[in-house]
Structure 1
Amino acid sequence: MAARIGGMRRQDIPEYPEVAIREVLVNAIAHADYSLTGMRIIITIYSDRMEIQNPGMLPFGMTMEDFRSGVSKVRNRVIVRVFRELGLMEEWGSGYRRVLAACQKGGYPDPGWQEMGSAFRVIFYPHPDTDYSETNVPVNVPVNVPVNV
């Protein structure tokens, strides 16, 4: 986590854009292709990025250009309807723009979007103010990490 000092107050800056991550997670659940056996939604955190991957590529006939322009093809209508009723999803086709806006507003790099094999992946990069030097790692980390990791 990074921080900025403005006047007398410190403002914490999360390593990753929380609003954008929430949006991508909701969409990963809503748009996953559950007919692909053995696949699941995967969240992976690396030292320099976070990846959220769900089973299934874009729906047939839909391109990345369509996706970026807000074209929406719903794969799981029941999940989407429930998420809308719970207030987790808003208007269809707005997720990409919402994620970009959240990243830009917070000063985060734009995420990457990829179709890979039978999956769709979103890659988030940490806030530029986040420090990744080894001096930022607590001294007791090697002691507390289990041997079988």
Structure 2
Amino acid sequence: MNAVVHRDYSFKGSDIKLAIFDDRVEITSPGGLPGNLSVDLILQGRSEIRNRVIARFFKEIGYVEQWGTGIKRIVELCKARNLKEPEFIDDGAFFKVIIYKVPDSAGYENKILDFLYKNGKITRVDVEQLFNVKERRARDILKNMVDKGILKRKGKGSKVYYELNKDRDFFIQK
């Protein structure tokens, strides 16, 4: 929605581009940030309306609540889902937003640690359900935490589970 409202329509032959990858979505809009805006300023909530008619229309149909809240809302929604913070890139000719689709490792780790403090152990299936990921991704997450020394793998075959590595001194028991 932000791309439609804020794009520079004077760029003939350029369209808004949406690229969907396994780990991210990239939205590229023709035209850099208007006026004296910078990425830092838009992250603070500063906004300049390039297309007043389109912006007013979106506001009247309820898609825009208040001017200058779109970028903040994107950042807040990503944080609420433990996603890596989105990237905003302005090269003067195009404005690109990169929204990552998978939680950053700290988001995964914190949620797994919370689960372990409550349940004592975690399985690959638990991780699949916690993060709505496929088996391969769940295995990668757990392996990464084992490699970092956070978890210990226990059991064999279908009985594999993971526990906190209590040999590490950085854990505070809850």
> TM-score normalised by the shorter chain: which range applies?
0.5 to 0.7
CA contact (8 A) 2:84 2:102 kept: yes
Which residue of structure 1 lines up, in the alignment, with residue 65 of structure 2? 90
Which residue of structure 2 lines up, in the alignment, with residue 54 of structure 1? 29
For residues 53 and 31 of structure 1, the distance between their equivalents in structure 2, rounded to whole angstroms, comes to 11
1:117 Cα deviation from its structure 2 partner: 5.0
Please tell me whether Structure 1 or Structure 2 has the larger radius of gyration of its CA atoms.
2
Which residue of structure 2 lines up, in the alignment, with residue 68 of structure 1? 43
Q: 1:115 aligns with which of 84, 90, 107?
A: 90
AA matched with 1:79 = I
CA offsets, 1:52-110, max 9 Å, x none?
Answer: 11111000211222111111110000000000000011111111211111111122211
For residues 116 and 46 of structure 1, the distance between their equivalents in structure 2, rounded to whole angstroms, comes to 22
Structure 1 runs of 4+ off > 6 angstroms? none
For residues 44 and 132 of structure 1, the distance between their equivalents in structure 2, rounded to whole angstroms, comes to 25
CA offsets, 1:115-137, max 9 Å, x none?
Answer: 13511011011123444949xxx
* 1:1-149 equivalence runs, <5 A: 26-116=1-91, 118-128=93-103, 129=131, 130-131=133-134, 133=136
AA matched with 1:126 = K
What's the C-alpha RMSD, in Å, of the aligned pairs?
Answer: 1.8
- Relative CO higher for 1 or 2, CA cutoff 8 Å, sep ≥ 6? 1
AA matched with 1:76 = N
Percentage of identical aligned residues: 38
Counting matched residue pairs gives: 109
Bigger drift between 99-108 and 71-80 goes to 99-108
Change (3 A) 1:78 1:109: same
Report the structure, 1 or 2, having the larger helix content.
Answer: 2
Change (3 A) 1:117 1:74: closer
Structure 2: 5+ residue stretches without partners = 104-130, 138-174
AA matched with 1:105 = A
